[in-house]
Chains A and B, each alone.
Chain A
Amino acid sequence: DVKVTQSSRYLVKRTGEKVFLECVQDMDHENMFWYRQDPGLGLRLIYFSYDVKMKEKGDIPEGYSVSREKKERFSLILESASTNQTSMYLCASSFGGGTSGQGRGSEQFFGPGTRLTVL
């Protein structure tokens, strides 16, 4: 079974703090994603990585950065947390290009989420 784990289920931080959210997957997936989920807005892509040390901005990258030093680990960084970054953060992984990454093989597997509250 694919397993995607996130470092915390709940996190409370103060405005201005630097926040690290960690995600680890054990299926040797090339692709990893960070989303935030807010009521009425659905899942919105923050950043995407298709290989080690590679990253691409998603739809809402402002205020966030990412790091992917190893294939299995993808970190989301809030350089200076703000109250409007209070949200549920979901990490996901999937196969990349090639045969395994086509069609159903491109299914994304999600971690349990981190509910971040910034006070």
Chain B
Amino acid sequence: GQNIDQPTEMTATEGAIVQINCTYQTSGFNGLFWYQQHAGEAPTFLSYNVLDGLEEKGRFSSFLSRSKGYSYLLLKELQMKDSASYLCAVMADSWGKLQFGAGTQVVVTP
């Protein structure tokens, strides 16, 4: 079956760095997405990785190791508005379906 694991909750201080890990075991792999979801809102796209390595986009970076079935999302210079749930999702087929992890709630404190 498909399995995507990420921590339930992480707390960090404003200005700090937080790394959210995601491990996956899926029947196929066509890329990994990270989404951000604020409470009561729709998920919004953050990053996409299909090749090994690091993708940097401003304060957010995402890393992928396909051989290890592992990804992380790095949030730097945390701001209060970064308090949200972060969803890891794997595209395991070529149709475009995503398998989501349960999400990691990040709490940023002053």
Which residues of A pack against B, CB within 8 Å? Answer: 4, 31, 33, 35, 40-45, 48, 50, 56, 58, 90, 94-97, 101, 103-104, 106-113
Are A110's CB and B44's CB within 8 A? yes
Contacts of B103 in A (CB 8 A): 42
Are A50's CB and B45's CB within 8 A? no
Are A48's CB and B95's CB within 8 A? yes
**What is the bound-complex CA distance between A96 and B40, given in angstroms?**
28
Q: In the complex, how many residues of chain B place their beta carbon closer than 8 angstroms to a beta carbon of chain A?
A: 25
Which residues of B pack against A, CB within 8 Å? Answer: 8, 30-31, 33, 40-45, 48, 50, 87, 89, 91, 94-103
Are A40's CB and B102's CB within 8 A? yes
Set B87, B89, B91, B97: member contacting A48, Cβ < 8 A: B97
Are B101's CB and A95's CB within 8 A? no
The minimal Cβ–Cβ distance linking A118 to chain B, given in whole angstroms, is 20
Contacts of B89 in A (CB 8 A): 43
The minimal Cβ–Cβ distance linking A12 to chain B, given in whole angstroms, is 17
Set A45, A90, A110, A112: member contacting B97, Cβ < 8 A: A45
Are B42's CB and A103's CB within 8 A? no
**What is the bound-complex CA distance between A3 and B30, given in angstroms?**
25
